[in-house]
């Protein structure tokens, strides 16, 4: 198991390029199921989650190859085993997004219920509700969701909001299933995340008829069939946001290439509020900080609100602000595994229900810490860059799920991160 050894503090400067989006790639890979034949996806990041998704598709009967240049081929001509096995699903919850496309293509799908998760309770009731509304019969057997629609699906109006707002992968599942349903489907309270818009654009390229893309009302006119596609996924806004915090927390200056600021307004707004400079520059931006960090309140919400996937990273930054901040988590109310670890590095964080009160400290002090989930581990790397001394982070595989060799991207900018195999 790999460990990071990080020497700090450092000041980052230089230029870094953002990879393709993990959370756009995963549902788009699942969409390849809907268009029998060979699809080519570009800019898919080299991450362990993408490999797991490839394995998942392979077990269905698809062929999956990846080229050195980042292109990825999925041949979905044959799907003879429409089963998402527990052995794979338990390694990656996003596997659930094969449920809708498999059901639409094969008239039947069995997908293991995803299990527990470090970021909290993650039910799939809204996925099930949406597919049932399209006419699927669904029951649970031996831990598997069994979905059946032998005579196909039928378009309808479906409300996809839940107690914590819209659902990203739930919207993806129902959207994909509805493309092949008879008649028209309207998804109300659809997730508006750029990754869902990217999926919808890709589906339209495959021959689907989706309108309202990017809005909370998606309208889908069902079609008889979809074709394979060649498609390039959008840049990863969460990786971009993580690099922005890296510039800010180290009082550095980074040119972040391949980053779309228009999908990141909530994060950019908070950074500017803290006294961080973010300037658009070409197909990216330049982020720098010269002044002390000002405290700021952050509340996570579905898009276009502040993304939960940047909450931990921003908390690391706010730990060093001159004053008190409040971070409220409204998407995953228990997503605070990083709090105790940051406190081990001399942060002053106090959790109160689904909020954390961040009392700014003048410096963080290195410590051995443990990565618990993807974004929590990113926060610990950021804290390690700014902390005095040598931070060691165990269980680095969490970070490898969502950031492509992060140490090889940050070290040329001035970071001192060593990957050790212990």
Residue among 10, 34, 147, 168 that touches ligand EPU (CB under 6 A): 168
331 binds ligand EPU (CB under 6 A): yes
199 binds ligand EPU (CB under 6 A): no
Residue among 19, 308, 354, 377 that touches ligand EPU (CB under 6 A): 308
- Tokens at 403, concatenated: 């950031």
162 binds ligand EPU (CB under 6 A): yes
245 binds ligand EPU (CB under 6 A): no
No. of helices (H) and no. of strands (E), the chain: 14, 24
- Tokens at 20, concatenated: 């393709």
Residue among 45, 222, 241, 402 that touches ligand EPU (CB under 6 A): 402
Neighbours of 340 (CB within 10 A): 14
Residue for token pair 């963080």: 364
For ligand EPU, give the closer residue by CB, 146 or 223.
146
Determine which one of 53, 62, 97, 117 is catalytic.
117
Strand partners, 253: 13, 288
Residue among 122, 182, 351, 395 that touches ligand EPU (CB under 6 A): 122
Q: Is 312 left (phi over 0), alpha (psi -120 to 50) or beta?
A: alpha
User: 204-228 burial by CB neighbour count: b if 16+ within 10 A, else e?
Assistant: bbbbbebeebbebebbbebeeebeb
15 binds ligand EPU (CB under 6 A): no
169 binds ligand EPU (CB under 6 A): yes
164 binds ligand EPU (CB under 6 A): yes
Report how far residue 294's alpha carbon sits from residue 61's, in angstroms, rounded to the nearest whole number.
53
Minimum distance of ligand EPU from residue 173's CB (angstroms): 9
Residue 117 designated active-site: yes
329 binds ligand EPU (CB under 6 A): no
Closest C-alpha to 76, from 46, 93, 53: 53
Closest C-alpha to 47, from 70, 30, 17, 64: 70
Neighbours of 416 (CB within 10 A): 16
For ligand EPU, give the closer residue by CB, 49 or 253.
49
11 binds ligand EPU (CB under 6 A): no
Which residues within the stretch 32-91 sit at the binding site for ligand EPU (CB under 6 A)?
none
Catalytic residues: 117
Positions that interact with ligand EPU (CB under 6 A):
23, 26, 94, 122-127, 162-164, 167-170, 195, 308-309, 331-332, 374-375, 402
């Amino acid at each position: 198991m790999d460990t990071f050894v990080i020497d700090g503090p450092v000041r980052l400067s230089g230029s870094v390029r953002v990879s393709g989006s993990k959370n756009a790639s995963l549902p788009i890979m699942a969409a390849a199921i809907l268009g029998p034949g060979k699809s080519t996806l570009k800019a898919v990041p080299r991450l362990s989650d993408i490999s797991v998704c490839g394995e998942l598709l392979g077990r269905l009967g698809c062929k999956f190859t990846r080229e050195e240049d980042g292109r990825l081929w999925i041949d979905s001509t044959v799907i003879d085993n429409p089963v998402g096995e527990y052995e794979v699903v338990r390694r990656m919850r996003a596997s659930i997004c094969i449920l809708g496309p498999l059901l639409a293509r094969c008239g039947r799908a069995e997908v293991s219920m995803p299990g527990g998760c470090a970021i909290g309770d993650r039910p799939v009731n809204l996925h099930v509700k949406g597919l049932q509304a399209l006419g699927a019969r669904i029951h649970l057997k031996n831990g598997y969701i069994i979905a059946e629609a032998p005579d196909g699906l039928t378009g309808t109006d479906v409300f996809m909001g839940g107690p914590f707002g819209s659902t990203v992968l739930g919207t993806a599942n129902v959207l994909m299933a509805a493309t092949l349903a008879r008649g028209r489907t309207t998804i109300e309270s659809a997730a508006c995340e750029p990754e869902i818009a990217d999926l919808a654009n890709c589906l339209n390229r495959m021959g689907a008829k989706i309108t309202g893309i990017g809005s909370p009302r998606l309208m889908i006119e069902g079609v008889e069939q979809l074709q394979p596609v060649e498609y390039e996924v959008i840049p990863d806004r969460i990786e971009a946001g993580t690099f922005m915090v890296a510039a800010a927390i180290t009082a550095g200056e980074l040119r972040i290439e391949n980053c779309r600021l228009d999908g990141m307004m909530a994060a950019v707004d908070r950074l500017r509020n803290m006294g961080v400079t973010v300037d658009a520059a070409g197909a990216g931006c330049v982020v720098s900080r010269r002044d002390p960090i000002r405290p700021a309140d952050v509340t996570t919400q579905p898009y276009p609100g502040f993304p939960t996937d940047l909450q931990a990273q921003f908390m690391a930054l706010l730990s060093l602000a001159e004053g008190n901040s409040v971070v409220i988590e409204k998407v995953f109310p228990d997503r605070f595994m990083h709090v105790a670890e940051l406190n081990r590095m001399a942060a002053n964080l106090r959790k109160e229900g689904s909020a954390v009160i961040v009392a700014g400290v003048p410096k963080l002090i290195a410590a051995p810490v443990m990565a618990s989930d993807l974004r929590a581990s990113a926060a610990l790397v950021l804290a390690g860059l700014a902390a005095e001394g040598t931070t060691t982070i165990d269980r680095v595989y969490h970070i490898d799920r969502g950031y492509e060799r992060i140490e090889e991207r940050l070290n040329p900018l001035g970071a001192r991160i060593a990957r050790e195999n212990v």
